[in-house]
């Protein structure tokens, strides 16, 4: 495809005024903005999260939050509305524009001009960088130093506050558990006092006492049986022989002696056999027959001799001894009943006492744990007070910058000039693309299929040329002088350009 460069150059010259106007407008605006935009000074500070100076196994610090999480917490506390307003008013951050700005605009401007970065990684130090863009170097450095002061203060308050709260919590926990231990001790003591006769620790002793009393009861019953048997035998001897003691009677008949022997033999057999045993019954029959014989041999006055009086005395003595033995048996039975009741109640008391002791042991274990943690909390609180734990330190303090960091006036001006030229050329190209008029013989051939013999160009009159040039000069003057003047007026009388640019950027979500 052949390009008619002379034609396009002629078109460019014919529409040169459009190019000049656009180029002048954009260039003037960019140059004016480059020189009117206020200088921005940036101050920086670097903070480092230092690890604890005391090894953890020796004394673990109370505050054990992750370093990055700690920095995020401090950043949120730093960028509060109250802090930003206080710093802005204290340092006059926005100088003469602050009376015109609302508190929301001041806070927004402070946050837009503040940049906080955090870096952390495995095996790497946790670093926090703070930067602020200010109108002057002292303001920028002052704001960053205020930020650093607030961060260090917040770090100290966070560390010591958490340590003190932890220590106070464990102090209260130890006090509470100590009170519960006292209550459980009183309950155990009261239960032991109420059930002193049926406690598990005396069960073996009471079982031994029960066995002893049972043996004594058996002995008493044997004594009662022996005394009663002795009484019955004495009465039987007296009724048979008329004497109190057959062994003391020298004139006893052979039948009486045989009767006495048979009675002794009967007593021995009754200890082995039952009364229904045939041998026992046969022996009893012999005894009954001999008793009749012995009674027949007694003299008529045998029942009225002095032995009867002696029998009464001995029977009275035996009755007294039997009564004493029976009373002793009654007392032993009562004591055994009391012991049996206490022994029967011991298993239930064992369960109840074990439950109380188990609760006491649990509370005691909690108390011991709380005391150990209280000691750790006290050590941790001391570590934080002495600033020996994890803390934030300043690695690089903010200094007053000696030159502005922005704007790049050369770049803005040069970019505006280049952009104006590009927009001017682009406007000419767009106009030509939209223009469908026939301007060359070639256009006649392409449109109508005819070849012209000759072409006559349009010739302007001197007055038309003068008017065209005057309009072009007026537009050029407006572009070169008026646009900067308007920008300057807006910057001075309405609002600074940096604030306007910041609002526009914020509206479109662009961070400058």
**Of the segments 76-90, 375-389, 423-437, 454-468, which one has the largest average pLDDT value?**
76-90
**Does 420 reside within a domain?**
yes
Q: Is residue 191 predicted with pLDDT exceeding 70?
A: yes
Supply the angle between the helices 462-477 and 16-36 in degrees, to the nearest 10: 20
357 within a domain of the structure (yes/no): no
Q: How many domains does the chain have?
A: 1
* Six-digit token string for 277: 């045993």
Cα distance between residue 144 and residue 131, in whole Å: 7
Q: How far is CA 493 from CA 471, 487, 488, 489, in A?
A: 30, 10, 8, 6
* Strand pairing category for 391-396 and 114-119: unpaired
Question: With bands split at pLDDT 50, 70 and 90, how would you rate the model's confidence at 305?
Answer: very low
Mean pLDDT check: name the lowest of 217-231, 400-414, 426-440, 468-482.
468-482
**For 166-175, 280-289, 306-315, which range has the lowest pLDDT when averaged over its residues?**
306-315
Residue 259, domain member (yes or no):
no
Q: Which of 391, 396, 510, 390 lies closest to 130 in space, CA to CA?
A: 396
Q: Identify whether 55 is part of a domain.
A: no
Q: Considering the domain boundaries, does residue 430 fall inside one?
A: yes
The pLDDT of residue 365 is: 92
Residue 250's pLDDT is what? 45
Q: Are 346 and 203 in contact (CB under 8 A)?
A: yes
Would you place residue 424 in the very low, low, confident or very high pLDDT band (cuts 50, 70, 90)? Answer: confident
What one-character-per-residue DSSP string does 288-317 give? HHHHHHHHHHS-TTGGGSTHHHHHHHHHHH
Q: From CA 420, how far away is CA 9, in angstroms rounded?
A: 19
All residues at 6 or more sequence positions from 134 whose CB lies less than 8 Å from its CB, including other chains? 40, 41, 42, 43, 93, 113, 140, 141, 142, 143
Nearest to residue 235, comparing CAs of 294, 155, 310, 152? 310
Task: Average the pLDDT over 454-475 and give the result.
Answer: 70
List the domain range (segments joined by +) for residue 31: 5-37+407-507
pLDDT of residue 235: 80
User: For residue 7, is pLDDT > 70?
Assistant: no
Scored b (16 or more CB within 10 A) or e, 470-502 reads eeeeebbebbbeebbeebeeebeeeebbbbeeb
pLDDT tens-digit profile of 114-126? Answer: 988 888 767 677 8
Classify residue 137: in a domain, yes or no.
Answer: no
Question: Does pLDDT of 131 surpass 70?
Answer: yes
pLDDT digits (tens, 9 = 90+) for 23-32: 777 777 777 7
- Encode 358-381: b = buried (16+ Cβ within 10 Å), e = exposed: eebeebeebbeebeebbebbbbbb
Using the predicted structure, report yes or no on whether residue 153 has a pLDDT greater than 60.
yes
Show the CA angle centred on residue 150, arms to residues 149 and 156, nearest 5°.
90
Q: Which of 290-294, 314-318, 395-399, 436-440 is the least confident region? A: 436-440
pLDDT band at 440 (very low <50, low <70, confident <90, very high): low
CA distance 408 to 413: 9
pLDDT at 472 over 80: no
Nearest CA-CA partner of 187 in 357, 346, 401, 366: 357
Q: What is the pLDDT of residues 331-375, one digit of tens each?
A: 989 999 998 988 888 888 889 988 999 999 999 999 999 888 888
Residue 438 lies in a domain: yes
Query: Measuring CA to CA, which residue among 264, 233, 76, 209 is closest to residue 154?
Result: 76
**Residue 127: which pLDDT band, with cuts at 50, 70 and 90?**
confident
Cα separation of 206 and 209, whole Å? 5
Q: What is the value of pTM for the model shown?
A: 0.51
Write down the mean pLDDT value for the chain: 77
Q: Is residue 30, in this structure, part of any structural domain at all?
A: yes
The Cα 227–Cα 325 span in angstroms is 9
What separation, in Å, do the N-terminal and C-terminal C-alpha atoms of the chain show?
46
pLDDT tens per residue across span 45-64 = 988 887 665 554 444 455 44
∠ CA(143), CA(146), CA(147), 5° rounding? 90
Q: H or E segment at 396?
A: strand 391-396
Between 395 and 9, the more confident residue is 395
* Contact of 133 with 110, CB cutoff 8 Å: no
Which residue has 């710093």 as its token pair? 87
């Amino acid at each position: 495809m052949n390009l008619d460069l002379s034609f396009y150059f002629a078109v460019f010259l014919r529409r040169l005024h459009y190019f000049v106007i656009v180029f002048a407008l954009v260039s003037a605006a960019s140059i004016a903005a480059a020189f009117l935009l206020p200088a921005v000074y940036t101050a920086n500070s670097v903070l480092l999260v230092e690890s604890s100076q005391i090894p953890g196994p020796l004394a673990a610090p109370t505050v054990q939050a992750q370093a990055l999480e700690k920095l995020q917490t401090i950043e949120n506390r730093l960028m509060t509305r109250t802090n930003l307003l206080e710093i802005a008013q204290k340092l006059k951050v926005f100088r003469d524009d602050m009376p015109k700005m609302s508190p929301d605009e001041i806070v927004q401007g402070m946050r837009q001009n503040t940049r906080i970065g955090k870096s952390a990684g495995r095996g790497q130090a946790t670093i926090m960088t703070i930067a602020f863009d200010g109108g002057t170097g002292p303001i920028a450095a002052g704001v960053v130093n205020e930020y650093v002061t607030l961060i260090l203060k917040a770090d100290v308050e966070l560390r010591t506050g958490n340590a003190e709260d932890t220590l106070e919590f464990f102090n209260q926990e130890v006090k509470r558990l100590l009170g519960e231990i006292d209550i459980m001790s009183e309950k155990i003591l009261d239960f032991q006092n109420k059930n002193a006769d049926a406690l598990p620790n005396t069960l073996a002793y009471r079982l031994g006492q029960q066995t002893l009393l049972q043996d004594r009861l058996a002995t008493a019953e044997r004594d009662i049986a022996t005394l009663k048997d002795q009484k019955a035998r004495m009465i039987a001897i007296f009724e048979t022989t008329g004497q109190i003691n057959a062994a003391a009677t020298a004139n006893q008949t052979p039948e009486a002696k045989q009767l006495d022997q048979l009675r002794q033999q009967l007593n021995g057999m009754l200890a082995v056999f039952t009364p229904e045993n045939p041998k026992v019954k046969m022996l009893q029959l012999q005894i009954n027959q001999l008793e009749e014989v012995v009674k027949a041999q007694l003299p008529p006055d045998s029942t009225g001799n002095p032995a009867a009086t002696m029998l009464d005395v001995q029977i009275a003595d035996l009755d007294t001894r039997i009564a004493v033995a029976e009373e002793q048996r009654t007392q032993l039975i009562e004591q055994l009943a009391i012991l049996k009741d206490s022994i029967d109640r011991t298993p239930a008391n064992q369960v109840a006492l074990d439950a109380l002791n188990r609760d006491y042991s649990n509370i005691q274990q909690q108390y011991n744990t709380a005391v150990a943690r209280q000691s750790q909390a006290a050590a941790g609180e001391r570590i934080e007070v002495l600033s020996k734990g994890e803390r934030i330190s300043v690695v690089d303090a903010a200094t007053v910058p000696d030159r502005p960091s922005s704007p790049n006036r050369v770049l803005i001006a040069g970019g505006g000039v280049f952009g104006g030229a590009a927009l001017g050329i682009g406007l000419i190209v767009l106009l030509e693309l939209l223009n469908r008029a026939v301007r060359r013989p070639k256009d006649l051939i392409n449109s109508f299929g005819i070849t012209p013999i000759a072409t006559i160009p349009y010739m302007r009159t001197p007055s038309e040329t003068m008017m065209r040039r005057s309009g072009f000069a007026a537009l050029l003057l407006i572009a070169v002088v008026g646009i900067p003047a308007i920008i300057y007026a807006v910057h001075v009388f309405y609002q600074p350009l940096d604030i306007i640019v910041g609002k526009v950027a914020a509206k479109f979500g662009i961070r400058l």
